[in-house]
Structure 1
Amino acid sequence: MTSSTDSATAQPATDSTPSGPSAPSGGLAPEPADEFLWLEDIYGTEALDWVRARNDSTDAVLLTDGYRALEASVLEVLDSKDKIPMVSKRGDWYYNFWRDEANPRGLWRRTDWDSYLAGDPAWDVLLDVDALCAAEGTEWVWAGASVLRPAQGQEYRLAMVALSPDGGDAAAHREFDLSTKAFVPGGFAVPAAKTRLDWLDEDTLYVATDFGPGTLTTSSYPRSSRILRRGQDLADAEPYFEVPADHLSGGAIHDSTPGFERDVAYDILDFYASRSYLRVGAEWVHIPVPDDVNVSLHRQWLVLRPRTDWELDGAVHPAGSLLAAPLEAFLAGERTLHTLFTPDAHTALQSWSWTENYLLLNLLRDVSSAILVLDPAAGWAATELDACPPLHSVDAYAVDDEDGDDYWLIATGFLTPSSVYRGTLSPGASGNAPAELVRRSPSFFDADPYEVQQHFAVSADGTRVPYFQIASKDLVLDGGNPTLLSGYGGFETSLAPRYSGATGRTWLERRAAVEGRERGGVYVVANIRGGGEYGPGWHRAALQENRHRAYEDFAAVAADLSRRGVSSRAHLGCEGRSNGGLLVGNMLTSYPELFGAVSCGVPLLDMRRYTKLSAGYSWIAEYGNPDLPEHWEFVQTFSPYHLLRDGVDYPAAFIWTATSDDRVGPVQARKMAARMEAMGVPGLWFYESLEGGHAGATDNRQGARLHSASHEFLWRVLAGSGA
């Protein structure tokens, strides 16, 4: 894991020896019969006719006056002009991307600090995406911008703007002039693809993209970076770095930090193994650490985070620790490492960020935030920022890693709207004055009647699994409360406390008469294995053949909610997206006795064919390779599409996806719904957004639709009004 604010993140690289997922040598595992393969034709006429018919059926039951009012209340939250406009600093300007009712596709804009601090910024609009859509006849979706660092003393001027034509991961990149607020005529342009690019200088880009046949990995990502010079056709770009096709991806970046300019290449073998290379003269020099040690560079420092215990020169560095060494000395053979952080049973490192003179570490202690400030000049002495209330999430990161020691502090909680603070780090434990409030988001629901509690369930193997419960202070523990259990449990992703005005309105504040009492909703977030709440060990515990542990953890939380009287099967539902969709798909098929309803979004469900669909091949390190008979033996135990059985009392299910999702893809959701429909499973809804990518939404209106539809479905079932 690397901090998104590191000046040079070397998302590691390779030599020429293939070491990705192995191909079967003794024959493929058998593919079970699949009567719905025709639905894998994503844009086929027959498949889309099937989708539209199910969408119409869902709309017919969903779109009541009450539902429309609910969706409108969520859209009000998403479009609110009182939300915090989060900014990133480049030079003297603070940049922001903003969507609201008047600008559904959004505005890329900037302001100065005094204006931002005053509370009603005078925004300088750089790009109006809605106007661009109208002018070009393409429904562009903002996908970010890469701004070229100028020579010292000069203004930031050039950027590569990324725009997706449908909300998917594939985006077009076009050169933009910040001074003229226009695309550069005849400037750099890369067609829509899963592109990664970086500036070398104002006339040169490093581009990793789809250059034609053979230039993508099996996972559908670029496998090479090439040098693209101004005025040059993409096809003529000079090869610079390449990885084998069975690796996940590869490319090169340029670290433009003044005084530390260098090129770094990365070869990502799979999600958890990678190699980094430094350009020395005309050669790529491998940074010699194990493939499962994450590498990042900051000025003179090499920063390392091992994913498994790493023994080096007789010392064992635990998984999830953070280490540093002078880069030049390390490359010369010196192996003395500074230990910056060591995890314990309760505490894990989540991210880190450099200011000019300090290193900020963002930690979780039993899923509550803590922040350490490290001073390299004082032997990496650490002090803790006194800024983290319990059961809250607080993240600290640099305002500018080159110009001063100011930092942002972003604080949020399930009942606490987000706040932005700005502070300045100083030498010594007493030198850090409290950060000052810059912005506070408004409350979108009345939080006073509610409280946040943390509980621990005991999983099947005895592991204690934490979960958050957000409910009314006078909650009656009689099993009758409509309860929504959410989770993810994959890819070392942590679910820390986070404010959602939309969830407050669509779940906590809703009321219904259930079992003789007027009740509101209970919202629960489970921190199951597979996530990163306790570091890489918590994640590894649910990889591949141990995947069942994530599902046992989630089921244990569900059972604990019933044991404690919070809810019961008739009133307990679950919700998950993407890998979380696979999670709740397994609740549907393997633990149907625990749940009354399941909302399953943009999900993986067919685990026999997932590696052949969209970007699925890239997740073999997480789930296993179903083509290998020895892997299919365990993968089939968590493949919901193949676990459906006749005669089972399944919970009601809402399965939803997006046609333009080029990461997971829509076909697994389609096939699951089709098979359940053919089996006559009652209480089934299906909806497929025709755009929106993996998020399922390209603007706030679509986001409000999917959020509200999911919660409306669950509420109708769990509060007793019926789906």
Structure 2
Amino acid sequence: MTAEHLETAPSAAPTTPLDPSAPDPFAWLEEVEGEEALAWVRERNDHAHTTVGSAEGFAATEAAVREVLDSDERIPDVSRIGDHLYNFWRDAEHERGLWRRTTLGSYRTDDPAWETVLDLDALATAEGESWVWHGASLLRPTPEQLAAGEPWRRALVDLSPGGSDADVTREFDLVAKRFVPATEGGFERDTARDDGRTGAKGGLAWADEDTVYVFTDLGPGTTTPSGYPRTVRLWRRGTPLTDAALVYEGAEDDMYISARRSRTPGFERDLVSRSIAFYRSETFLVEAVGTPRQRLVKIDVPESAEVGFHREWLLVELRDDWTVTSRAGERTYPSGSLLAAPADAFLAGSRDLAVLFEPTPSTSLVGASWTRHHLVVNVLDDVKNALHVLTPPADASPGAAWTRSELPLGGGLLTVGVRAVDAVDSDDVWVTTTGYLTPSTLALATVTGPGAEPGVPEPLKAAPAYFDADGMVAVQHFAVSDDGTRVPYFVVGRAELVQPADPAAAGTAPTLLYGYGGFEIPLLPGYSGTVGRAWLARGGVYVVANIRGGGEYGPAWHQAALREKRHKAYEDFAAVARDLVDRGITTPAHLGAQGGSNGGLLAGNMLTRYPDLFGAVVVQVPLLDMLRYSHLLAGASWIAEYGDPDTADWEFVRTFSPYHLLDGDRRYPPVLFTTSTKDDRVHPGHARKMAALMLAAGADVTSYENVEGGHGGAANNAQAAHMSALAWTFLHERLA
């Protein structure tokens, strides 16, 4: 940026809409840790605390949310590792969290005996760093080691300073319950960045006991324009990282390069993943990795497809139509299909594929989870899910038929998720069931094939009801968008508010409309004690819109709002807003809009394109300056979603860039912006600059920036409760 762009403030209120060819009057707010920028942030935070933070009901809302987040009655989500179930847990006494473990027998009891493996609060205190848990990957022992009684010992633990995407990785000994220092040969990825921060985007992945794949920032030329790793190397224990052998190097404009080893006994495979753009990738099978004979074999599928291996099988999930020629002739498989083939036969050139799922106008594939012998397929039908069990043929011959059976779980407006307990040697699955008014439950079930009785799920845990749902209902409606497309949405609240006796009468209940509409991510029913306590129990109506851009109807639903068609997502959301009014549920004065990240861009467009439809808007960790987004942090990785503003694409990108749509002569509803200084995915400058521009235009603006938290906005439960209470209190004040 030039010096003229870094002036501390414009000499007068900037002319709006902004001229994209002129210097940005608030470019100085892009300096994340700049002294003047942070002074501005502190001033706006003080204003938020003075107004919203001191409002009636704020303290009670914050306490109610914090109680939910800290509750000991929450279901501890677990993963089975050997003889133990591992869980990461945060509560009032452990703000940073505990990584802990127990046995299945103990987990079945009302009060499991947990053994602490790693205390992040103690680690943060000892090291003077605000560590945030980013997860762990464990090395599966070989069958010979397991037969000899050797325990699961080796883990790679990812820790983030303050919640940023950039993190560090350290080897951890699960038996000794300590980090293995580099002086003892332990693997450590601890990059010091040019901006003085610790960590980098990327990671380590186990190859074997003494070798890992490393993909991270290793200096100039090793990262992509989005800040992600561009190279993957094989790093042997006891050798300098600088000596790690190059396995693959992506192109300069690629998005992300990584690698992993599948250690399923008898089906060990080394795989390199090349993300070219958000929806384009290549997968390579690496033969003789790390030797002079090393060779990469590309999996010959469309770049838009996703591939996965399980034992002898290759799965291909399509985002676009795919025409192939097999022994049966030429065939086109439609976008959204899930296909299977014996991996060895496919690599040898066979294109005899089994169709495991093919979409219809109302159905889409939302997930597929392997067990040892079966594949559980999760299908949405008008955003309501059903589970099917597919069993591969025993001989794994090309084109052989798979058998199908049902897994009768869930139903209605409930979301059922299935996750394998251990896909290598078990057919057990974790089954999670949840709904807007139905607290979550966790059960253990065994998947069976055709002709066998389905395993009866064993209930393990049930979350408490955090609010009184008596008299409340959850219903699904459809709105009609500008082009005639039917857009589903869910409405939750008291029956008399959700289903008014006289639709012609104007409803006055405060109503919040939430959406996302991007990256093929569906929004499904789920229980939230926070929404229940802070909104529903106080007489509010909660609405979730399943707009285009999401994944509710598969790739086609997503692609319908890509790039130059982005406006379709916003038209859908506006159609839902109007439909709520037409049904007598609310009025524009009582209707709020909320979204975060890509949903923050959605909320920003509701604010600037449809201000008359809403009485208040909450915009969280948003993209807003779409002229600059691809130059800020990870923004370049989303060009496939939004377009490239540095090209002719700007002609359509500018139509959904809220920062350039703001018109000082229009009236806008009150708005709350929230972001995080530590967000290194979506730059906090988006929210800062939009707030400053609207303030200069005389709008009703509240903004708050948390100093920690990364893209999630909060690094611990206290921060999360505080941020949540600001939003709920702001909405109550403006809409009720």
The bucket for the TM-score relative to the shorter chain is over 0.9
Q: 3-state SS of the aligned residue for 1:274?
A: strand
Task: Select the residue among 31, 38, 41 that pairs with 1:51.
Answer: 41
- 1:34 equivalenced with 2:41 (yes/no): no
CA distance in 2, matches of 1:205, 1:404: 26
Q: What amino acid is the match of 2:608?
A: T
Change (3 A) 1:710 1:429: farther
What is the CA deviation profile of residues 516-536 of structure 1, one whole-angstrom value per residue up to 9, with x for unaligned ones? Answer: xxxx10000000000000000
Question: Secondary structure of the equivalent of 1:210?
Answer: coil
2:620 pairs, out of 596, 601, 611, with 601
> Following the alignment from structure 1 to structure 2, what is the Cα–Cα distance between the partners of residues 185 and 623?
43
Q: Name the structure 2 match of 1:4.
A: none
Provide the secondary structure at the position in 2 that maps to 1:438: strand
TM-score relative to the length of structure 1? 0.93
Mapped to 1, the partners of 2:671 and 2:268 lie a distance apart of 53
Alpha carbons 2:511, 2:540 under 8 Å: kept: yes
* Residues 618-660 of structure 1: CA deviation (Å, up to 9, x unaligned): 000000000002x000000000000000211101000110000
Q: Separation in 1 of the partners of 2:412 and 2:44?
A: 45
How far residue 299 of structure 1 moved from its aligned partner, in angstroms, is 1.1
Aligned position for 2:665 = 647
2:389 corresponds to 1:365:
no
In 1, Cα distance between the equivalents of 2:161 and 2:419? 32
Determine if contact 2:189/2:203 at 8 Å carries over to the other structure. no
Offset of 1:85 from its aligned partner?
0.3
| 1:271–1:618 Cα contact (<8 Å) kept | yes
Shift of 1:234: 1.9
On the 8 A contact 1:31/1:608 being kept in 2, the answer is no
For 2:77, the aligned partner's letter is M
| TM-score, normalization by structure 2 | 0.91
The one of 84, 108, 116 aligned to 1:125 = 116
Deviations 1:424-475 (A, max 9, x none): 1223244213212111100000111200010000000000000000010122
Q: How high is the sequence identity, in percent, across the aligned residues?
A: 53
Secondary structure of residue in 2 paired with 1:263: strand
Q: Distance in 2 between matches of 1:185 and 1:650?
A: 56
State the match for 1:298 in structure 2: 310
Give me the whole-angstrom Cα distance separating, in 2, the residues matched to 1:472 and 1:600.
Answer: 26
Q: How many residues are treated as equivalent by the alignment?
A: 680
Structure 1 residues 400 and 491, CA gap change in structure 2 (3 angstroms) = same
Q: Contact 2:270–2:285 at 8 Å: present in 1 too?
A: yes
Deviation of residue 548 (structure 1)?
A: 0.2
Structure 2, gaps ≥5 residues long: 1-18, 191-198, 289-293, 395-400
1:286 is aligned to 298
Query: Are 1:709 and 2:709 matched, yes or no?
Result: no
Corresponding residue of 2:735: 718
SS of 1:193 mapped into structure 2 = coil
Q: Structure 2 residue aligned with 1:171, among 163, 167, 170?
A: 167
One-letter amino acid of the counterpart of residue 416, structure 1: T
User: Which residue is equivalent to 1:93?
Assistant: 84
Code of the aligned partner of 1:383? S
Distance across 1 between alignment mates of 2:426 and 2:20: 60
Tell me what 1:497 maps to.
Answer: 525
Alignment partners' CA distance in 2, 1:66 and 1:521: 15
1:261 corresponds to 2:268: yes
Select the residue among 566, 571, 582 that pairs with 1:547: 566
Could you tell me which amino acid in structure 2 is paired with residue 34 of structure 1? D
SS of equivalent to 2:622: coil
Displacement of 1:113: 0.7
Q: Say if 2:169 and 2:203, in contact at 8 Å, map to a contact too.
A: no
* Structure 1 residue matching 2:134: 3-state secondary structure: strand
Shift in alpha-carbon separation, 1:189–1:31, aligned structure 2, 3 A: farther
Which residue identity lines up with residue 351 of structure 1 in the other structure? G
Q: Distance in 1 between matches of 2:319 and 2:88?
A: 34
Partner of 1:63: 53
Q: Is the 8 A contact 2:20 2:627 kept in 1?
A: no
* Equivalent position of 1:420 in the other structure: 442
In structure 2, how many angstroms separate the alpha carbons of the residues matched to 1:696 and 1:185?
31
Q: Shift of the alpha carbon at 1:185?
A: 2.7
In structure 1, the residue matched to 2:132 is: 141
Aligned residue among 173, 178, 181 for 1:182: 178
| Equivalent pair of 1:598/1:652 in contact (CA under 8 Å) | yes
Q: Distance in 2 between matches of 1:72 and 1:635?
A: 41
2:162–2:678: 8 Å Cα contact kept in structure 1?
A: yes
CA contact (8 A) 1:243 1:267 kept: yes
Equivalent residue for 1:674? 692
SS of corresponding position for 2:181: coil
2:5 equivalent in structure 1 = none
Residues 538-576 of structure 1, C-alpha deviation per residue, up to 9 Å, x if partnerless?
000000000000000000000000111111110000100
- Write the distance in 2 (CA, Å) between the matches of 1:404 and 1:66: 50
In the aligned structure 2, how far is the partner of 1:104 from the partner of 1:616?
31
Secondary structure, in 3 states, of the residue corresponding to 1:407? strand
Cα shift at 1:262: 1.5
Deviations 1:254-287 (A, max 9, x none): 1111111111111101111101110124110111
Taking the aligned partners of 1:110 and 1:434, their CA distance within structure 2 comes to 26
1:326-341 equivalence runs, <5 A: 326-341=342-357
Q: Is the 8 A contact 1:242 1:251 kept in 2?
A: no
Quick one: distance in 1 between partners of 2:448 and 2:481? 45
> Offset of 1:122 from its aligned partner?
0.8
8 Å CA contact 2:479–2:486 kept in 1: the answer is: yes
> How far, CA to CA, are the matches of 2:414 and 2:509 in structure 1?
25
Q: Does 1:632 align with 2:650?
A: yes
Counterpart of 1:442? 464
Residue pair 2:635, 2:681 contacting (<8 A) in 1 also: yes
CA deviation after TM superposition for structure 1 residue 184, in Å: 0.9
TM-superposition CA deviations, 1:387-410 (whole Å, max 9, x none): 122111101121110222111110
Q: Deviations over 1:651-706 (max 9, x none)?
A: 1000110000000020010000000011111x210000011000010011111111
Give the CA deviation at 1:233: 2.1
For residues 225-278 of structure 1, the C-alpha deviation after alignment (integer angstroms, 9 at most, x for no partner) is 111111222222221111012011112211111111111111101111101110
CA deviation digits over 1:487-540, x for unaligned, max 9? 000000000001000000110011xxxxxxxxx100000000000000000000
Cα deviations across residues 375-422 of structure 1 (Å, max 9, x unaligned)? 113732111211122111101121110222111110000000100011
Q: CA deviation at 1:340?
A: 0.5
Match of 2:101 in 1: 110
State the one-letter code of the partner of 1:702.
Q
Instruction: Report the equivalent of 1:467.
Output: 489
Structure-2 residue corresponding to 1:210:
217
SS at 1:479 equivalent:
coil
Give the match for residue 26 of structure 1: none
Structure 1 residue aligned with 2:196: none
Q: How far 1:317 moved relative to its partner?
A: 0.7
Q: Report if the CA contact (8 A) 2:388-2:404 is conserved.
A: yes
4+ runs deviating over 6 angstroms: none
Matching residue of 1:201: 208
CA–CA distance in 1 between the matches of 2:272 and 2:239?
A: 22
Listed as ranges, the gaps of 5+ residues in structure 1 are: 1-28, 511-519
For 1:421 and 1:212, locate their aligned partners in 2 and report how far apart those are by CA, in whole Å.
Answer: 47
SS class of match (2:533): helix
Within a 5 Å distance, the mapping from 1:361-440 to structure 2 comes to: 361-377=377-393, 379-440=401-462
The one-letter amino acid of 1:44's match is G
Report the AA paired with residue 251 of structure 1.
S
Distance in structure 1 (CA, Å) of the matches to 2:262 and 2:425: 16
Residues 1:563 and 2:582 are matched in the alignment = yes
State the shift of 1:347 in Å. 1.0
- Provide the rounded CA distance (Å) in 2 between the counterparts of 1:232 and 1:693: 33
Say what the alpha-carbon RMSD is for the aligned residues.
1.2
